[in-house]
A and B are shown apart, each in its own frame.
Chain A
Amino acid sequence: MGKLFKTYILTLCIFFAPDVVTAQILIANPQIPTSELSRNNIRAIFAMRTPHWPDGTPIQVFVFEDENQTHISFCKHILGMFPYQLRRIWDRQVFSGTGVAPITVKSAQEMTEKISDTPGAIGYIELEHLTDSVTQIGSES
């Protein structure tokens, strides 16, 4: 009875587990002067509306393509937005000259390489791809 019940509960847990089994994390160039960002700050950074870190270093934002699953999950879980909303904000800036869009990369490896090579860089990856060459940034909501 006990065993069957445990199996039943376990099955339920797996079935209803939220899709955060693989978690997206914020990563940045190790030299950036911040270790934690509010959701608000992160939204403004990824909307390309905050051009500088508090010490004046230009922020360089790296993202995956709109269709990328990590990008979609990052938008939903970390930003609390949808990819189309970010795209709309970037488009408005790019096509009116009032701002720019982030740089798109194709793989987690390219993401970590670009971020470790670029001063002021920020991006995101799945936790499993975290390397020593980048710093994980905490997010508070």
Chain B
Amino acid sequence: MNTLNAILLLTLVTYPSFAEVTRQDNLKIHGFASQAYVHTSANNFFGDSEDGSLDFTELGINTSYQLSPRLRVAGQLLSRRAGELYTGSPWLDYALADINLLSTTENQFGIYLGRIKNPIGLYNETRDVAHTRQGVFAPQVIYFDKVRNLLMSADGFHLYSNHFLSSGNILIRIGAGYPLPDKNVEYAFMGQNWQGKLDRGKLGLFGRIMYEHDGGRWVFALSGTTLELDFNRGEQDAIPFPAGAGLSSGTIDIDYTTLSSQYNAEKWQFTTEVAFEHVSYNNISAAFDQAGFDSIGYYGQLDYKFNSNRQAFIRYEEFQLNRDDWNGKKAARESLATSLFLSGFGINQPPSPARNNYSKAWVFGGHWDIKPNLRLRAEYHFIEGTAILSQRENTVPLTEKFWNMFAMSVSYRF
């Protein structure tokens, strides 16, 4: 009886701390909230930014629960309001099971199953979390917000294989999944909202190999993605030329390769990434099938930490839609010829100017952590070209070639 009492007493005394520890250990909840102010000298970026816009709001909450030593589940709900591109309706950002198959102190091997964020470059997986990206916006020349959902996550599986060697760490991810295209993708790759719809096509493939030298002093990564989307035409899309566009159902193939490197020192950080995109159109129409392109986007960013809560950066970023037609001169000539040709049939299709095929920008900015969880950011962009703009928010003939942007954001996370 005494023994039983002692056990009971011991249990009662230790339970609260035991329960607290177990609860803390197995269930984790985190979240973030961010509000931005965007003001552009011309053109619309995330809302009517010419008049100053507050149309960029991000909210997220996630949870991770360790069901057993080898099995963990995690999920995140996201609400994202970004001008005309995203309305803020809640979206299941990821929902996955993490099954650890092999675990030693030097090697980890396992599988993620479910909706998984794609490991593209250094930042894709966390680009919606204001605290974790390089500025108010992720560099648009690689992390396009106008086609965000296409590359953001996919439904499928990823294998992970992580190796901790004495010289550094090798982190490998390989997976397959169905991408999640939306109307923004249609605007970006097909120029407008067609009656038909872009659907996930074949299973896409994703992979990244990352090497972290000396605890991450140097980080190098190579990521690759290959996707195929199905375009299913609507009846109106099929009306033959010149009364309609005469589209057939077909596919769009997209390959996206990214090279990344980063140097991390106590005060300085230098990051550079380059992305090569290959897009080809198959059987949609003669005009589309000729419109395939090989683009390049790259940036270099230098960060300086004044102290643990104040930081400044300078970045140059550039995107060229066609590597064989730098600054889009040839494309502009062809577009003008097409426009003249169509006008002969009484069709008014304004020519697409050269500026729509590239974007070059210098960005100066910084952040101040008012509290460890509360970050204020501000930055100024000097931009030439309009390729990062969405045609969902802008009428191309009315856009300006040279434009500036001021952006500020306040972000909280827990």
Contacts and interface: CB of A to CB of B under 8 A. Distances in A.
Interface in B294-327: 305, 308-309
Interface stretch (B21-29, B194-202, B283-291): B21-29
B96 A97 contact: yes
A81 B219 CA distance: 13
Contact of A98 (B25, B69, B125, B128): B125
Contacts of B60: 95
A52 B305 CA distance: 35
B100 interface: yes
Contact of A58 (B69, B162, B264, B305): B69
A40 B165 contact: yes
A53 B112 CA distance: 21
Interface string A81-103: 11111001101101111111101
Interface stretch (B43-51, B103-111, B179-187, B402-410): B103-111
Contacts of A126: none
A77 to B, nearest CB: 12
A131 interface: no
B10 to A, nearest CB: 13
Contacts of B32: 95
A61 B28 CA distance: 14
B215 A95 contact: no
A100 B28 contact: yes
B392 interface: no
Which of A37, A65, A83, A95 is most buried by chain B, counting CB atoms within 10 A of its CB? A95
A67 to B, nearest CB: 6
B69 A85 contact: no
A108 B215 CA distance: 26
Nearest to A96: B125
B62 A41 contact: no
B117 A96 contact: yes
A95 B98 contact: no
B3 interface: no
Contacts, number: 120
Interface stretch (A1-9, A19-27, A43-51): A43-51
A44 B108 CA distance: 10
A139 interface: no
B2 interface: no
Given A40-B165, A66-B372, A96 B69 contact: no
B35 interface: no
Given A50-B103, A88-B132, A95-B129, A118 B25 contact: yes
B339 interface: no
Interface in B119-137: 125-126, 128-129, 131-132
B251 interface: no
Contact of A49 (B94, B98, B164): B164
A85 B84 CA distance: 35
Contacts of B69: 51-52, 56, 58
Interface string B56-70: 000010101010010
Contacts of B132: 88, 91-92, 95
A138 interface: no
B27 to A, nearest CB: 10
Nearest to A81: B215
B74 A52 contact: no
B216 interface: yes
Contacts of A101: 28, 30
Given A44-B105, A91-B129, A95-B125, A51 B100 contact: yes
Given A44-B105, A81-B216, A88-B132, A38 B166 contact: yes
B339 to A, nearest CB: 44
Interface in B151-200: 160, 162, 164-166, 169
B75 interface: yes
B18 interface: yes
Contacts of B98: 97-99
Contact of A43 (B21, B95, B128, B215): B215
Nearest to A66: B372
Query: In the complex, which of the residues A65, A85, A103 has the most CB atoms of chain B within 10 Å of its own CB atom?
Result: A85
18 contacts: A37-B105, A44-B169, A49-B169, A50-B103, A50-B108, A52-B69, A52-B103, A56-B69, A66-B308, A79-B215, A88-B132, A91-B129, A92-B132, A94-B28, A94-B30, A95-B60, A98-B74, A99-B98
Q: Which 7 A-B pairs have the closest CB atoms?
A: A97-B74, A96-B125, A81-B215, A44-B164, A95-B126, A96-B117, A52-B103
Given A50-B164, A98-B160, A101-B30, 18 more contacts: A38-B166, A40-B106, A49-B108, A50-B105, A50-B108, A56-B69, A80-B214, A83-B308, A85-B215, A91-B132, A94-B62, A95-B32, A95-B126, A97-B76, A97-B95, A99-B98, A100-B64, A101-B28
Interface of A: 37-38, 40-41, 43-44, 49-52, 54, 56, 58, 60, 65-67, 79-85, 88-89, 91-92, 94-101, 103, 114, 117-118
